[in-house]
Structure 1
């Protein structure tokens, strides 16, 4: 666990050099977590990987748990930024849904090793649990607003509760992302994005989506075949 720190509690760096050193320690911590796991995540190892002295670690962080929280927030911030669909992109609702799912899956893949450790530790760590809630609240909130806009435009089922629907469908996407990453499900990105997007669109009754009216088409085909 490292030697006991005796210096005063660290404060946020105020110089460019200080910020660069702290960011280097955060990056080193992430590298160790992803490549070597929690057991190797020690102040000594992080300082060595970052190329700074052991004492420098405690200039910026209280403990390895403190650094872990900074690493997780850094990863979460990257993930949220990477999964945002550009407002200047396509206007078609289904195309935007496809792009959103694709960006989310890619962001999850990059962050998956750290996020899995967070899920394991969140039950016993209130700070980690709060970060997990913040990540999910961001995605659920964004999806809720998007669904409300589609409902207001008459493009999605108005009888669905927007937040509950966003929570349910977002959980579906998250679990599939987890299964691809942790359980090595043999599906390529295009297949997964296509199916998740079609499932999401069908669930909300999105007008103009590829599977819209499939039941009517199936009945029509069956009727033609029986003639």
Structure 2
């Protein structure tokens, strides 16, 4: 869940910049590279990162191994490219970019819905990221830095609500943001990426997590 828009620098990327090459100079090159990235994502999501082979990716993309090496050195490079593209696709509005309203609960609900809809569309990728984080310490560090950036962003949003008299002033914004942000992300992972107990009713999921957020912050005139 995102409580406000980004101010200043965007959140750190999950894609290691050292593994990203300059994009091709020709339209044909751009199309071929994009086809390889889409194929790699399909393979990674289907068999997992460890079991994915370059031969699987080139077969999915219907191209030769030689063509692959024109654009990527190895599996690590194309995985970084998959992440870079996915991050652009997964952007969603924070609280400051949802339609203006004087009702903080409505804004909170809209922001939670945007986050969870994005998560649901990319559920297989989210499960893949969890797998890679468990085997790659460098990727795990990137993921933690990115998570902290979102926690910091939500903490600023909570502090702003406190200044406006719309949230419990005695709460620590950073600690509250950490607890609530992690709650939403882990519930999203267990229900949407792992599908534990079967897929949930989506509207019920959004409503429940939003009510917990609002009750924790003690929104005025709101009873969950």
Same fold by TM-score greater than 0.5: yes
TM-score (norm 1): 0.78
TM-score (norm 2): 0.79
Q: Which residue of 2 aligns with 1:53?
A: 64
Equivalent of residue 26 in structure 1, options 25, 37, 48: 37
Equivalent of residue 204 in structure 2, options 191, 196, 202: 191
- 1:70 Cα deviation (Å)? 2.0
SS of 2:118's equivalent in the other structure is helix
Give the number of aligned pairs: 202
Q: Which residue of 2 aligns with 1:68?
A: 79
- 1:137 Cα deviation (Å)? 2.8
Alignment RMSD: 2.4
- 1:186 Cα deviation (Å)? 5.2
Runs (5+) with no aligned partner, structure 2: 1-18
Whichever of the two has the greater Rg, that structure is: 1
Q: How does 1:1-227 map to 2 (within 5 A)?
A: 11-12=21-22, 13-38=24-49, 41-79=52-90, 81-82=91-92, 84=94, 87=97, 89-91=99-101, 92-181=103-192, 182=194, 183-185=196-198, 187-211=200-224
Report Cα offsets for 1:95-132 as digits up to 9, x if no partner: 11111111111111222212222212213324422442
Asked if the contact 1:108–1:177 (Cα under 8 Å) also holds between the matched residues in 2, the reply is: yes
Structure-1 separation of matches of 2:73 and 2:181 = 35
Q: Identify the structure with the greater helix proportion.
A: 1
Higher relative contact order (CA 8 A, sep 6+): 2
Structure-2 separation of matches of 1:156 and 1:11 = 45
Runs (5+) with no aligned partner, structure 1: 1-8, 212-227
CA separation of 1:99/1:156 partners in 2, compared to 1, >3 Å: closer, same or farther?
same
Report Cα offsets for 1:142-200 as digits up to 9, x if no partner: 31221121011111112212121111101111111112121144530111111111110
